[in-house]
Amino acid sequence: MFSLASKLYETVIGSSGEQLSTENETKNLQSSQVSLVKETTIETTEFAVPTIPVPKMQITEDTDIDIPPAFPLIDSPQRIKSSQSKLTPLEKANKLRKKVILEPGHSALDWARLKNSNVNMGGVYEIRKYTLDELKLHKTKNDAWTAINGKIYNLTPYLKFHPGGEKELMRAAGKDGTKLFMDIHPWVNYDLMLDKCFVGFLVGINTALT
């Protein structure tokens, strides 16, 4: 009787002890694993990527970099200032020309219409020859004559139509304006432009600005 009870007790107690021992071993194993994980875990803040400063490049006299020479070369003809070079006749003329704003009704088209009218733009009723002394008498805005290549024209009707302004055109009033005209706009057909203003012929001198 007692031996049977003793065996049953030992069996129950033994099983409980073994179960308890197994649970303890499991807990110990889990604790060991947690400790191992903690030991092997590394905080990411300890491995933040540092900012690496980029050194600035400095070019010294000892550098081996080949720098191409400036073009054109400093002493080459291409570097000569335009003021030192000779201007072509066309460039010279463009430099001398200064256009002004014309009054309404004084465009090139308006001048063409005026020429086609019956207005006596020359102001004379007889085509004849004039001397330089006679030409010099016509040097006011209301009576401005000039000579170009031996032909005399009345400039007064054209003063307000002149692209360069009245003042510029009056430089030739009462004079032989051949040289002045050719220096500023040699390509202009003056005879076609001023044909209705023709007065006569200049005699006694060579065609030159005086």
Strand partners, 140: 143
Closest to 195 (Cα-Cα) out of 115, 84, 80:
115
Q: What per-residue confidence (pLDDT) applies to 84? A: 45
Q: What per-residue confidence (pLDDT) applies to 86? A: 64
Q: What per-residue confidence (pLDDT) applies to 98? A: 63
For the chain, list the domains and their CATH numbers: 94-202 (3.10.120.10)
Mean pLDDT by 10 residues, the chain (210 residues): 53 53 62 54 52 57 53 49 52 58 88 92 95 97 96 96 92 95 92 96 68
Residue pair 131/204 in contact by the 8 Å Cβ criterion: yes
Half-sphere exposure of 122 (CA within 13 A, CB side): 16
User: Distance between CA 208 and CA 181 in Å, rounded?
Assistant: 10
Helix (H) or strand (E) holding 140: strand 139-140
